[in-house]
Amino acid sequence: MNNNFPKDFIWGTSTAAYQIEGAVNEDGRSKSVWDVFCEQDGNIIDGSSGIVACDHYHRVDEDVALLKNAGIKNYRFSISWPRILPNGIGKVNPKGIKFYSNLVDKLLENNITPWITLYHWDLPQCLQQKGGWCNREILDWFSEYAHVVTDALGYRVNNWIILNEPSVVSFLGHGLGFHAPGLKGEDNYLASVHHQNLVIGRMYRELKAKNANWNIGSSYTLLDNPADASCKDNRASAYMDCFWNRNFFDPLMKGEYPSIMQDAFKPWVQDGDMELIKTDLDFVGVQHYNSIYAKDDFEKGLFGTFFGEKPKDIPTTDIGWGIMPQDFYHCLSDFNQRYGDKIPLVITENGCAYYDKPDDNGKVDDARRISFLESYISAVSDAINDGVNIKGYFVWSFMDNFEWSEGYAPRFGLVYVDYDNDCKRTPKSSYYWYRDFIKV
Ligand code: GCO
């Protein structure tokens, strides 16, 4: 496959703190909601947690060298809030700052541009005890945290992602209870959506006022609009579309919640909120893996809506997620039609999970990942050719890691991690393929 993308197209890879760092009890870090969620029986399929993860906390030099050897020029990672502010707010932990400061220095020394996600799901547990995302005070807590991080790193870092996938935090974490903090119900769902939307609007303005040169966005899921997919259940499809896409993009781009959700959100919306949320971010980060189908389910679902079955004839990755690059293309062009092309998109995550392991010669030949990436990157190229304003693409993930409730079985990495052998790293075939593909 030839790389016909513009010369200034941004190619990168992504990770997240809790999924790779480990060292959860070291250097003054306090517990996050994910530590606590993992401790509770039955929440994580294999009973695992991020206690060790990829041990990245102790292997920064090795991991930066791996990035460099793949010619990766942009690396997206997240900051662990409980490492920086173990009490959620208040006293700053200098050892937490030092860890990320050193990582940033190492990246820059190797000509790798950092893209920092301020929040990738690991809320300090002490703030959860005060209501977490359901408490409107989180706007102030988040602001304090974001200023501590940007004060410490902002003179060397230009690219900021405020939140990662608020849809997952709300739907899986506050609506259905499948992710931390394990809350359920419509009220928790609605409060967490609205407060995350407000945090994005407020932090964009505050950080931009601090440094107008920063490139500031936020990352969202972008899933195929299920009402257009083969799903026949239109009521449930319309709600699913709201849960994954419209409850976030409509307020951000149009300053209003989708009409079918407006009454439900009313109790949480105060004067001026929608004006604060409607924001011209510098870029919208979009992340895509799978298409989601919907069905009516008034017992298990939220607003009577639960996951439906995907059609049987769809090819899948090893974890059963559909391989549907045409749906990715459709999402991107649909986004353009709904919201226009004024704000550039950056694909801040896309990737696939396969179980490939080292063969007898120690080689991890993940040919299926290469063909997955080729087909999805082609979809990005087609979307650009059809006028969608896309500036970059980041593979999820740089290395295999802790896949939340699914534990360690799903392997999304370009680099294999041998969890039974001191987290030894082995670049897979896709690592070398990506290196050659993005070479300028
Ligand atoms: C997400 C997160 C990542 C996941 C990845 C694969 O989108 O869920 O940003 O942390 O690991 O998406 O599921």
Residue 234 has a pLDDT of: 87
Give domain limits for the chain: 10-438
Q: Tell me the average pLDDT of the chain.
A: 96
Token pair of 413, please?
A: 């990495």
Fold (topology level) of 10-438: TIM Barrel (3.20.20)
Residue located via tokens 């895509």: 288
Residue 144 has a pLDDT of: 99
Q: Which atom of ligand 1 is nearest to the CA of 121?
A: 10
**Average pLDDT for 421-430:** 98
Residue 72 has a pLDDT of: 98
Q: Which atom of ligand 1 is nearest to the CA of 404?
A: 11
Which H helix or E strand runs over 13?
Answer: strand 10-14
Question: Which one of 165, 186, 309, 403 is the catalytic residue?
Answer: 165
| Rounded Cα–Cα distance for residues 71 and 84 (Å) | 30
CB 324 within 8 A of CB 316: no
Chain mean position to CA 356: 23
Question: Which one of 309, 349, 403, 406 is the catalytic residue?
Answer: 349
Question: Which residue has its alpha carbon closest to ligand 1 atom 6?
Answer: 403
Count the Cβ atoms, other than its own, within 10 Å of residue 313. 6
Helix axis angle for 60-69 and 94-109, nearest 10°, is 30
Question: Strand runs (DSSP E) across 165-309, as ranges?
Answer: 215-221, 283-288, 294-296, 305-307
* Ligand 1 pocket test, candidate residues 352, 396, 417, most atoms within 8 A of CB: 396
Question: Which residue has its alpha carbon closest to ligand 1 atom 13?
Answer: 403
CA neighbor of 286 nearest in space, from 330, 227, 223: 223
Q: Bridge partners of 288?
A: 350
165 is known as an active-site residue: yes
Chain mean position to CA 25: 24
Burial state string for 215-253 with b = 16 or more CB within 10 A and e = fewer than 16:
bbbbbbbbbbbbbebebebeebbbbbbbbbbbbbbbbbb
| Rounded Cα–Cα distance for residues 265 and 191 (Å) | 8
Residue 319 has a pLDDT of: 97
Residue located via tokens 């501590």: 148
Q: Is the pLDDT of residue 232 over 80?
A: no
| Rounded Cα–Cα distance for residues 426 and 47 (Å) | 25
Which H helix or E strand runs over 117?
Answer: strand 113-119
Rounded to a whole number of angstroms, the distance between the first and last alpha carbons of the chain is 14
Q: Looking at residue 258, what DSSP letter applies? A: -
**Residue 160 Cβ contacting ligand 1 at under 6 Å:** no
Q: Give backbone dihedrals phi and psi of 59, rounded to 5 degrees, phi first.
A: -130, 35
Cis bond before residue 32 (omega within 30° of 0) = no
**Average pLDDT for 335-341:** 95
- Kindly give the distance from the C-alpha atom of residue 281 to the centroid of ligand 1, in angstroms, as a whole number: 22
**Average pLDDT for 38-43:** 98
Which H helix or E strand runs over 58?
Answer: none
Residue 87 has a pLDDT of: 98
Q: Is the pLDDT of residue 403 over 70?
A: yes
pLDDT band at 39; cut points 50, 70, 90: very high
- Kindly give the distance from the C-alpha atom of residue 244 to the centroid of ligand 1, in angstroms, as a whole number: 14
CA distances from 321 to 117, 158, 351 (A): 25, 34, 11
Q: Looking at residue 216, what DSSP letter applies? A: E
Residue 152, amino acid: A
- 313 contacts: CB under 8 Å, gap ≥ 6: none
Q: 249-288 pLDDT, tens per residue? A: 999 999 999 999 999 999 999 999 999 999 999 999 999 9
| Rounded Cα–Cα distance for residues 107 and 13 (Å) | 13
**Helix, coil or strand: residue 391:** strand
Q: 181-200 pLDDT, tens per residue? A: 999 999 999 999 999 999 99
**Average pLDDT for 293-307:** 93
Handedness of CA 121, 56, 92, 102 (dihedral sign): negative
| Rounded Cα–Cα distance for residues 387 and 389 (Å) | 6
Q: What is the value of pTM for the model shown?
A: 0.97
pLDDT band at 229; cut points 50, 70, 90: low
Question: Strand runs (DSSP E) across 252-356, as ranges?
Answer: 283-288, 294-296, 305-307, 345-350
pLDDT band at 439; cut points 50, 70, 90: very high
**Helix, coil or strand: residue 394:** strand
Residue 312 has a pLDDT of: 86
299 is known as an active-site residue: no
Residue 228 has a pLDDT of: 52
**Residue 349 Cβ contacting ligand 1 at under 6 Å:** yes
Q: How many CA within 13 A on the CB side of residue 207?
A: 35
Q: 195-226 pLDDT, tens per residue? A: 999 999 999 999 999 999 999 999 999 998 76
**Residue 248 Cβ contacting ligand 1 at under 6 Å:** no
CB 294 within 8 A of CB 305: yes
pLDDT band at 231; cut points 50, 70, 90: low
Residue 298 has a pLDDT of: 93
